[in-house]
A and B are shown apart, each in its own frame.
Chain A
Amino acid sequence: MARLDQYKLTLRLLFEDVSSAAGLIIVLGYVGVAVIDAVYPQLIGVVSANVEIPNFSNPVPQPPTWPLHPFGTTFPGVDLYQAVMAAIRVDLWYSFLIVVGGALVGILVGVVAAYMSGAIDEVLMRVTDIFLSIPYLPFAIAVGFVLGRGLDELSLALIVVWWPLYARYARGQALSVKENAYVEAAKASGVGGWGIMTKHIVPNVLTPIFVQISLDLGTVVQTFAALTFIGFASSGPFLPELGTLISNGFPYAISAPWVVIFPGVAILIFAVGMNLLGDGLRDALDPRSRT
């Protein structure tokens, strides 16, 4: 079957299953919000996300009122709805960056290791194992601390923490692809090392990696928000980011639960959507369901 037909079959299978279709819709919704917020924020009501509202600088969180503050306000006088909408863009952007960055590095390392085998493979894998011997959250803290405590540095730290997983995974996939006959055939017809790696191995490694990426995006968003929650990014409370919002609201959580609930729900729904989509993709790409 041609590649295009395969993609079409994947999409069809995705939509047939209610939960993965729901996941896809949720994810698209979030992406839509992020894009709109970047381009034309007024459309979704984001006027001034994190500046103290003029004439309403009450730092204590106020409960939700309609239509002025649908999510209420949070410390220090910020409209929660606008903050969450803007934060979605920030979180999505960084999470995407982290996962794709980590995947790129990981795939490179993994495929090279699998293809070159021998000493290079050993060395690369030992390095990967060393990185994998530290659990990701504390490691991210350590790396991030060293690099600096901004959002960009945090993303870099998470990329450093995340790539070994992809390296391992990609290597495993590449190893099994390498055994396939068409690689031998390509070699026999004189295609060089890099050519084989890029044209034959990588495309076939990409499909399961793609599933892994979609599953990971949900986790990365949570991890990113978790790290900002414990206070990673120190550029003050005016940062539209979901984790920061939750940590800002933490001291007021008991008396004003909405400050914590809404940002958290935003993360939760995205994670749910992403996981549903990832699961659905994995099932759709499973050869057993495609016959």
Chain B
Amino acid sequence: MTLRYYVVRRLLLVVPTIIGLTLIVFILTHVGGDQRFLGEYINIHSPISVSVQEQQLTQRFHLDQPVIVQYFYWLSAFFHGDWGYTQTPIYSGPVSGAISLFLPNTIVLATLSSVLTVIIGIPLGVWSAVKRNSLVDHATRVFSFVGYSLPVYWLGLLLIIAFASPAICPCLNLFPVSGAVNISLTNGLSWYQGGISFPTHVLLVDSLIYGRFDIFADALMHEVLPVLTLTFSIVASVIRVMRSSMQDTLNQEYIRTARAKGLPNSAVVNQHARRNALIPVLTLMGYTIAGLLGGVVLIESIFNLPGIGYWTTQALLSGDIGGIMGGTVIFGLAFVFSNLVVDILYGYIDPRIRY
């Protein structure tokens, strides 16, 4: 099977997964019966009486139809971009609006952390396995062990304390510990309204577009602590897996063959061992990404970064069902697609899997 065929087959697999995902979310929203579902949408302060509201809502959500039909209506609404409504302290309105507002920030956080994780984690894992029982190896193992055992939000708190507490050291007041940007810098800007920047909604990009390097630098500084915290937590498991996988790979027979061909050790490690060792790492990438997405939720809450995780948490606290489900769908979709990318990479690297 060629790579192309494998990719197509894998893409097709996304469809039932998304259907399953939406099905679960749908079931979750309707657990507890119609009354409960309706209860979330009924506005007691509205001039319209409750029973009339109930009628309207029943019609709108087709609650009088069999469950399967309801699901189809829900699904079609989903594909038309109507994902329900959300009412949280930080945002009220259609869920799709909330997503376009919050998603870019989450993407920035997740992307920066992932890139940093890969850049640090993979070489460290390789190095640690090649130089077994050396100082580097022991240091790396301790480092990754701590990162693995540390509650990620607690680390964030520690960093906040360290960098903001006057008790510790005022001189360390380098990195801001809250929010995405210094408000004073963004007062009165035409392209920054209501917490959203235009046109890309990503402040880091937009500030560059408009040439405001000071805003760019400030936003970047605001990302430093969150990214570092999240990376520290995630890179730990990457290093672990990379190291053990590298060790296993170096014990394989074909590594001995490579040496027998006269390859110097650096070439053996770089050209043969590393690529093969990456395969199990990719297999476990799914769990790593799950951890990343979970960590995003926590980090955003602590550092007050207005992203999807923050919104979901607020929705939880204020009992907003639209927000919760919207967040779940987004996280699910993100997960599905990142797994897709990982699987395709896997098929590219390991030709055995294409069968």
What residues make up the interface of A, taking CB atoms closer than 8 Å to B? 126, 129-139, 141-143, 145-147, 149, 218, 222-223, 225-226, 229-232, 246, 250, 253-255, 257, 260-261, 264, 267-268, 271-272, 275
A133-B335, A255-B165 known; A250-B327 Cβ under 8 A: no
Residues of A within 8 A of B335 (CB): 133-135
Residue B112, interface by CB 8 Å:
no
User: Among A133, A145, A271, which residue has its beta carbon within 8 angstroms of that of B324?
Assistant: A145
Residue of A nearest to B331 (CB): A138
A251 to B192, CA, bound (A): 29
User: Among A130, A132, A230, A272, which residue has its beta carbon within 8 angstroms of that of B145?
Assistant: A272
Contact A134 B153 (CB under 8 A): no
Jot down 22 A-B pairs with beta carbons below 8 A, ordered by A: A126-B16, A126-B20, A133-B20, A134-B335, A135-B293, A135-B331, A135-B335, A136-B294, A138-B327, A139-B332, A141-B316, A141-B324, A141-B328, A142-B28, A225-B151, A230-B317, A250-B157, A260-B161, A261-B161, A268-B149, A268-B150, A268-B154
Contact B167 A230 (CB under 8 A): no
Contact B20 A264 (CB under 8 A): no
Contact A130 B24 (CB under 8 A): yes
Question: What are the 5 tightest A-B residue pairs by CB atom distance, in nearest-first order?
Answer: A137-B294, A130-B20, A271-B149, A264-B154, A135-B290
A254 to B325, CA, bound (A): 34
Most buried by B among A134, A232, A272: A134
Contact B154 A254 (CB under 8 A): no
Residues of A within 8 A of B23 (CB): 130
The B283-334 residues at the A interface (CB cut-off 8 A) are 286, 289-291, 293-295, 297-298, 301-302, 309, 312-313, 316-317, 319, 321, 324-325, 327-328, 331-332, 334
Question: What is the count of residue pairs linking A and B with beta-carbon distances less than 8 angstroms?
Answer: 144
A268 to B21, CA, bound (A): 33
Contact A226 B157 (CB under 8 A): no
Interface string of B131-175 (1 = CB under 8 A from A): 000000000000001101111111001101100111110000000
Tell me the interface secondary structure of chain B in the complex. Answer: helix
Residues of A within 8 A of B327 (CB): 138, 141-142
Contact B153 A226 (CB under 8 A): yes
How many whole Å from B293's CB to the nearest CB in chain A?
4
A246-B157, A254-B164, A257-B165 known; A134-B148 Cβ under 8 A: no
Residues of B within 8 A of A230 (CB): 297-298, 301, 313, 316-317
How many whole Å from A235's CB to the nearest CB in chain B?
14
A137 to B157, CA, bound (A): 19
Residue B25, interface by CB 8 Å:
yes
Residue B31, interface by CB 8 Å:
yes
Residue B271, interface by CB 8 Å:
no
Contact A137 B297 (CB under 8 A): yes
